């Protein structure tokens, strides 16, 4: 069933074409992820389709729709948190029971559990949806088609986000192969043309062993031969001119960070904490075991909203009982970015105190898609996403050996998130960070601090390894739980009527231990 049809969908701002889409259709059951770099017009496409922004188009709706716009700074004036407002909007959207959901960054401010809940609702949704999201895991799980806006055009890929990534890679390889073949043929023809030109030019002079009288006898023959060579050269030139140009594909960005004077630390643990605890209004937030940050590790702090991830970060670096390694130089990234100097240009801001060359600084900025015009802007003129990029670039171009990052991917598109991943993986120091982006944590983290049951569980390994271990434990739990419950019943019986031989204190300790184990199951 056709829900939406649009023809000649064109959006222009001043003289700039944002997008020009000949035709767009949406059917019942479509599960579409809309992707593209910041500024290509994803949100404008939504607004144009529903009439909130003027576009040139013939748009026909054959079903009802609900639009959930991206949560912006207005939520700061509400009594609800960003996550609570996002959940409220999503509840209203599903309650409307519209045929079509248009969702613009619906996972902003949501924790992993809430994102998984949203995924489950989308997978059972009976209508159609188009979703703009930087959450690659969500696009993988719920989408069966990806629409990409790039260079003003919309291209469809029949698959989830991983398929889209593979297809883009395959297209790049085909384009590169065609370009190399074109260049090889172009150079071959160009060389042949120049050789023939030189050959023809040399025939206007007598050979060194031939006298003038002999040359006069063979001049006519040489002239005829020269004409033939010139005709061959002309044919080669025509073939060269007719050769269809194949453009070189844009090379994938590769960053090798060059630190001129990176401060080394000669100990294995950079941070060692005592047991920490935090409470608010007499309510316990968390109690942690002793925690350590290993040199060179990339540690992600994960857990639901409100569990205390940011609070723990602040507590670690303001607690006198925490042991920090000597020569530790810490670079902090905070969600609010209130410390940025508004009057400095981006390049001046990064150059100050950096040990890197101007070329390397510009390379890092370029990888984050801050181009020549952007680096000359004053910081106050940057968008939210550009401010995040500048603040992050400052950290990786300065002589910090520990980066502490609180939600570094907020306000970034997928391309920029992948750039941050590449830069962190290339960074030779240690990283401690929080993030709601599951793919980002999967790509970067090799250590985890996991919040659950008002405590923190340290884990050495990736999120994939942790999930595998958790699944193995869950598979064993039913049998183990039955054994523990049987033993618990036996202990209760013995404690209620102990025999003279029973050590009541030992039985009671075992009883308490089994109770704790059962609570964790």
Q: pLDDT tens, 13-52?
A: 888 889 999 999 999 999 999 999 888 899 999 999 999 8
Burial class of 414 by CB neighbour count within 10 A (0 to 12, 13 to 18, 19+): buried
Q: What is the pLDDT of residues 222-257, one digit of tens each?
A: 677 777 888 888 888 899 899 999 999 887 766 666
Least confident of 171-175, 186-190, 201-205, 221-225: 201-205
pTM: 0.78
pLDDT value of position 203: 64
Assigned superfamily of 2-159: P-loop containing nucleotide triphosphate hydrolases (3.40.50.300)
Burial class of 454 by CB neighbour count within 10 A (0 to 12, 13 to 18, 19+): middle
Q: What's the CATH class of domain 269-461?
A: alpha beta
- The conformational region for residue 520 under phi > 0 = left, psi -120 to 50 = alpha, else beta, is alpha
pLDDT value of position 105: 92
Neighbours of 419 (CB within 10 A): 22
Q: Is 90 in a helix, a strand, or coil?
A: helix
Token pair for residue 198? 């030189």
Cα 499 to Cα 29, 100, 505, 509, distances in angstroms: 68, 70, 13, 17
Helix (H) or strand (E) holding 95: helix 82-95
Average pLDDT, the chain: 86
pLDDT higher than threshold 60 for residue 215 = no
Neighbours of 513 (CB within 10 A): 11
pLDDT value of position 490: 80
Q: What is the pLDDT of residues 362-388, one digit of tens each?
A: 888 888 888 888 888 888 888 878 888
Confidence of residue 488 (pLDDT cuts 50, 70, 90): confident
Burial class of 121 by CB neighbour count within 10 A (0 to 12, 13 to 18, 19+): middle
Q: Which residue has the tokens 């070189």?
A: 248
- The conformational region for residue 178 under phi > 0 = left, psi -120 to 50 = alpha, else beta, is alpha
d(CA 344, CA 360) in angstroms, rounded, equals 19
Q: Are 440 and 425 in contact (CB under 8 A)?
A: no
């Amino acid at each position: 069933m056709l829900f939406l049809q649009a023809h000649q969908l064109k959006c222009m701002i001043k003289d700039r074409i944002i997008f020009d889409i000949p035709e767009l259709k949406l059917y019942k059951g479509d599960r579409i992820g809309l992707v593209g770099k910041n500024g290509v017009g994803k949100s404008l496409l939504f607004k144009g389709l529903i009439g909130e922004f003027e576009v040139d188009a013939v748009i026909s709706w054959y079903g009802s729709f609900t639009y959930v716009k991206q949560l912006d700074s207005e939520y700061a004036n509400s009594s609800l948190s960003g996550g609570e407002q996002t959940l409220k909007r999503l509840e209203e959207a599903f309650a409307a029971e519209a045929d079509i959901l248009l969702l613009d960054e619906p996972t902003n401010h949501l924790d992993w559990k809430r994102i998984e809940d949203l995924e489950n609702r989308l997978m059972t949704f009976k209508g159609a949806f188009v979703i703009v999201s930087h959450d690659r895991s969500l696009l993988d799980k719920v989408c069966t088609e990806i629409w990409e806006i790039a260079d003003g055009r919309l291209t469809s890929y029949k698959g989830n986000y991983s398929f889209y990534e593979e297809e883009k890679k395959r297209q790049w390889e085909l384009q590169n192969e065609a370009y190399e073949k074109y260049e090889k043929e172009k150079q071959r023809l160009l060389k042949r043309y120049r050789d023939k030109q030189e050959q023809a030019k040399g025939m206007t002079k007598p050979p060194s062993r031939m006298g003038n009288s002999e040359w006069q006898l063979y001049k006519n023959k040489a002239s005829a031969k020269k004409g033939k060579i010139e005709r061959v050269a002309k044919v080669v030139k025509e073939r060269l001119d007719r050769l269809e140009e194949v453009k070189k594909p844009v090379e994938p960005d590769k960053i090798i960070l060059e630190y001129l004077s990176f401060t080394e630390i000669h100990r294995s643990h950079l941070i060692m904490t005592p047991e920490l605890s935090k409470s608010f209004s007499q309510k316990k937030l968390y109690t942690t075991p002793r925690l350590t940050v290993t040199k060179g590790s990339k540690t992600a702090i994960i857990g639901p909203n409100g569990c205390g991830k940011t609070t723990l970060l602040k507590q670690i670096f303001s607690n006198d009982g925490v042991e920090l390694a000597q020569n530790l130089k810490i670079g902090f990234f905070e969600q609010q970015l209130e410390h940025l100097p508004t009057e400095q240009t981006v390049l001046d801001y990064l150059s100050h105190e950096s040990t890197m060359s101007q070329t390397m600084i510009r390379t890092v900025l370029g990888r984050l898609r801050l181009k020549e015009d952007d680096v000359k802007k004053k910081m106050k003129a940057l968008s939210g996403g550009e401010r995040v990029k500048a603040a992050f670039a400052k950290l990786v171009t300065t002589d910090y050996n520990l980066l502490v990052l609180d939600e570094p991917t907020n306000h970034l598109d997928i391309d920029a998130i992948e750039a941050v991943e590449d830069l962190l993986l290339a960074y030779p120091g240690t990283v401690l960070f929080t993030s709601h982006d599951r793919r980002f944590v999967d790509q970067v983290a090799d250590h985890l601090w996991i919040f659950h049951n008002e405590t923190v569980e340290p884990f050495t390994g990736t999120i994939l390894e942790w999930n595998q271990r958790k699944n193995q434990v869950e598979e064993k739990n039913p049998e183990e739980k039955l054994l523990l419950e049987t033993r618990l019943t036996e202990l209760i019986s013995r404690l209620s009527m102990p025999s003279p031989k029973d050590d009541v204190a030992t039985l009671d300790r075992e009883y308490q231990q089994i109770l704790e184990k059962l609570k964790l199951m």
